Amino acid sequence: MVEKQKINEVIVVEGRDDTANLKRYFDCETYETGGSSIDDRDLERLKRLEDKRGIIVFTDPDFQGERIRKIIMQAVPNAKHAFLNRDEARPKGKGSLGVEHANFEALNQALAEVFGGEKVTDEFGSAKTQEPSSDRSSVSKKELLTEVLSVKKNY
């Protein structure tokens, strides 16, 4: 069984397919806005979640996703934000951009950056995560991501 990284904050996504993709790779809880609709009741819930556990807004890199992000940002200014670029969220076939299409590398990098990780590339052009002030060159990528994401091992 593959060990999933635990994310303590609640991740705000647009729909159930986004949730399903995140849960494939991470031990996390999500709050689904139901697509482009977000009302005052949702915003009150998100404020309470931010106070209790913190939230990470992780919406699609399209017009509706950015619209939702801006509404949440105004109501919950301390919320953290994770971002995918359009290429990372592009479907393999037809369809719209979405968190549900991103692979583990893209999701992991976006979440690592929320907690201060930086995107760097190695000599092969592969993206990897490195902490901002990397004084420890012997730290493995898994240990570093565990630290950066404030995760707990799930046995």
pTM of the model: 0.73
Inside any domain, residue 155:
no
Q: pLDDT of 55-104, one tens digit each?
A: 999 999 999 999 999 999 999 999 999 999 888 888 887 778 899 999 99
The whole domain housing 28 covers: 5-148
Does 76 map to a domain?
yes
Which CATH number fits the domain that encloses residue 117? 3.40.1360.10
Least confident of 19-23, 104-108, 117-121, 131-135: 131-135
Over residues 136-143, mean pLDDT: 40
Does any domain span residue 154? no
Structural domain includes residue 126: yes
* SS3 per-residue string spanning the chain: CCCCEEEEEEEEECCHHHHHHHHHHEEEEEEECCCCCCCHHHHHHHHHHHHHCCEEECCCCCHHHHHHHHHHHHHCCCCEECCCCCCCCCCCCCCCCCHHHCCHHHHHHHHHHHCCCEEEECCCCCEEEECCCCCCCCCCHHHHHHHHCCCCCCC
Domain count, the chain: 1
